[in-house]
Amino acid sequence: MNDIHDNHQKLRVGILFGGKSAEHEVSLQSAQNVLAALDKTRFDPVLLGVDKQGGWHLLEQPKLPIGNTPAVGFNPQLLEGVDVVFPLVHGPLGEDGSMQGLLEIISIPYVGCGVLGSAIGMDKDVMKRLLRDAGIKVTDCHAFTEGQQRTIDVQSLVAELGLPLFVKPANMGSSVGVTKVDNKADLLAAINLAFRYDRKVLVERAVIGDEVECAVLGNEQLKVSVPGRIACTTDFYSYEAKYLDRDNTVLEIPAKLAKQVSQAAQATALQAYKVLGCEGMARVDMFVTERDDIVVNEINTLPGFTKFSMYPQLWEASGLSYPDLITKLILLALDRSQKRQKLLTTYVPTKPAL
């Protein structure tokens, strides 16, 4: 692997995209934007596409659909000569620790959170439990596994959590499979839809307030962006509002918040990032209530990198350009990898203290 401080030899960056999840198309948009913004004076891109059947492809450009070139199951030789991977495979098998574990096993540095932070961030139920234990306010919810699906008491859920409710797959992003439920009659159908995407489903109390997001960057030395606010004319920030119908969505960056509220949102984002063991990057999504309470909705450890995505836009507003952000993330990945390589892998007996 090239030295991260060697400016005379370009690093080969594997841009990894596609995947077997419902966020496949979003991933391709992210890859196109990262490829366009990558500093070609420092990095040579290697494009690695994963199709919806799990086949891997070496490509000349991110394209839809993936699959016009011969596919192979994963082979470590595909990454031969690659110095670092920039994973942009959103959703399950991409940002849930699976891809990160694969890259760890074959000793390839990669951008973003490690196996544990990725897995925790993907499972909204586990994430909320850890944040709650750390004293961070989260949205109230109940989680149900596939085996509990037939025994869910809709009446009790509505009585406890009220209406409206949000139903979502525990392990999914980009609002895929999410339904806002305004009446009890629609709740069961929303639960059944969410179970089509995951084996665990959350039913959440709706929080009245502004949707605010902060971007966090770093390994040990952390930086947090200015907050951004999402304003939708639709019921909620759905998949369509994020990627298909932008006319009904306004991103207010930076968010027009009182200074103390803005600082509280940033502090909460940093705290959540640390509690969940994140590294590299993450976007923390929160609500600011009428009483200016900060309530964490979720964390996204592999946020979108499309031209509409909040994470790069937040850093642009905070003084870090899109190309410089990509470079910083790559260098953070290499730095973390080098530190990991220094850890002992064999037992070394130590002398007892005198």
Residues in the chain, pLDDT under 70: 1-8, 64-65, 67-72, 174, 233-248, 353-354
Which residue among 18, 23, 49, 118 is the active-site one? 23
Which residue among 94, 198, 229, 283 is the active-site one? 283
CA dist 94 → 98, 232, 284 (Å): 6, 28, 18
Which residue among 110, 197, 239, 243 is the active-site one? 243
User: In this structure, are 248 and 271 located in the same domain?
Assistant: yes
Please report whether residue 328 resides in a domain: no
User: In this structure, are 157 and 79 located in the same domain?
Assistant: no
Number of structural domains found in the chain: 3
pLDDT at 74: 87
pLDDT at 3: 46
Contact 202, 141 (CB under 8 A): yes
pLDDT at 173: 76
Q: What is the pTM of this model?
A: 0.91
Distance separating alpha carbons of residues 133 and 325, to the nearest angstrom: 32
- Is 285 annotated in the active site? yes
- Is 298 annotated in the active site? yes
User: In this structure, are 17 and 90 located in the same domain?
Assistant: yes
Distance separating alpha carbons of residues 342 and 250, to the nearest angstrom: 46
- Is 243 annotated in the active site? yes
User: In this structure, are 289 and 265 located in the same domain?
Assistant: yes
pLDDT at 4: 46
Structural domain ending residue among the three candidates 205, 231, 259: 205
Please report whether residue 259 resides in a domain: yes
User: In this structure, are 214 and 224 located in the same domain?
Assistant: yes
Please report whether residue 343 resides in a domain: no
Which residue among 49, 228, 298, 322 is the active-site one? 298
Structural domain ending residue among the three candidates 286, 301, 316: 301
Please report whether residue 344 resides in a domain: no
CA dist 155 → 73, 180, 185 (Å): 47, 17, 10
Domain that holds residue 40: 11-111
User: In this structure, are 240 and 293 located in the same domain?
Assistant: yes
Contact 168, 333 (CB under 8 A): no
pLDDT at 231: 87
- Is 283 annotated in the active site? yes
Please report whether residue 153 resides in a domain: yes
User: In this structure, are 106 and 15 located in the same domain?
Assistant: yes
User: Which tokens hold the place of 154?
Assistant: 């809709």
User: In this structure, are 197 and 263 located in the same domain?
Assistant: no
Which residue among 27, 174, 262, 297 is the active-site one? 174
- Is 68 annotated in the active site? no
User: In this structure, are 196 and 182 located in the same domain?
Assistant: yes
- Is 49 annotated in the active site? no
User: What CATH number should be reported for the domain holding residue 175?
Assistant: 3.30.1490.20
Please report whether residue 67 resides in a domain: yes
User: What CATH number should be reported for the domain holding residue 247?
Assistant: 3.30.470.20
Which residue among 33, 225, 297, 300 is the active-site one? 300
Which residue among 304, 318, 322, 337 is the active-site one? 304
User: In this structure, are 165 and 244 located in the same domain?
Assistant: no
Please report whether residue 175 resides in a domain: yes
- Over residues 128-168, the pLDDT tens digits come to 999 999 999 999 999 999 999 999 999 999 999 999 999 99
User: What CATH number should be reported for the domain holding residue 51?
Assistant: 3.40.50.20
pLDDT at 308: 84
